Amino acid sequence: MILAAKRGLSDLFDTAHALWSVRVLALVLLGLVAWASPAAGRIIVDTISEAYLQVSVFVAATLALLYGLERLFNVDSAELLARYPRSQVPLAAFLGALPGCGGAIVVVTQYVNGRLSFGALIAVLTATMGDAAFLLLAREPMTGLLVFALGLGVGSLCGWLVDGFHGRDFMRAQTQADVARRQLRLREQRRADAVRLHPLWLALMLPGVVLAVPIAAQVDPNSWFGPLAAYEPVTWLGFAGGMLALLMWSARLCGTPGDEFDAVGTLANPADREKSPGRPPITRRVISDTNFVTVWVIAAFLCYELGMYFSGADLASWFAVWAPVTPLIAVLVGFLPGCGPQIVVTTLYLTGVIPMAALLGNAISNDGDALFPALALAPRAAILATAYTGVPALIVGYAVYFLS
Per-residue tens of pLDDT for the chain, all 404 residues: 444 444 444 444 454 454 456 677 777 888 888 898 888 889 999 999 988 998 788 878 877 887 787 788 776 655 666 666 778 899 889 888 887 777 787 788 778 777 788 899 999 999 998 878 877 876 788 998 999 999 999 999 999 999 888 877 777 655 444 444 444 444 444 444 534 788 899 999 999 999 988 887 778 899 898 888 888 999 999 999 999 998 888 776 555 443 444 433 333 333 433 444 445 677 887 888 788 778 877 877 787 788 778 877 665 666 566 778 889 989 998 888 777 778 778 877 887 778 899 999 999 998 887 777 777 777 888 889 899 999 999 999 999 999 98
* Inside any domain, residue 399: no
* Inside any domain, residue 299: yes
Q: What is the DSSP letter of 279?
A: P
Q: Do 338 and 296 form a contact (C-beta atoms < 8 A)?
A: yes
Task: Give the long-range contacts of residues 25-31, CB within 8 A, separation 24 or more.
Answer: 26/250, 27/246, 27/247, 27/250, 30/302
Q: How far apart are CA 107 and CA 146, in angstroms?
A: 22
Q: Do 379 and 368 form a contact (C-beta atoms < 8 A)?
A: no
Structural domain span for residue 167: 10-312
* Inside any domain, residue 383: no
* Inside any domain, residue 219: yes
Cβ neighbours for 166, distance < 8 A, ≥ 6 positions apart: 118, 119
Give the residue ranges of DSSP H helices in 167-230: 176-189, 198-216
Tell me, what amino acid is at 244?
Answer: L
Q: Measuring CA to CA, how many Å separate 177 from each of 174, 184, 262, 266?
A: 8, 11, 11, 19
Tell me, what amino acid is at 56?
Answer: S
Number of domains the chain contains: 1
Torsion-angle region of residue 193: left (phi > 0), alpha (psi -120 to 50) or beta? beta
Q: Helices 102-112 and 88-97: crossing angle, nearest 10°?
A: 140
Q: How far apart are CA 183 and CA 174, in angstroms?
A: 12
Q: Do 254 and 288 form a contact (C-beta atoms < 8 A)?
A: yes
* Inside any domain, residue 34: yes
* Inside any domain, residue 286: yes
User: Residue 331 half-sphere exposure, CB side, CA atoms within 13 Å?
Assistant: 22
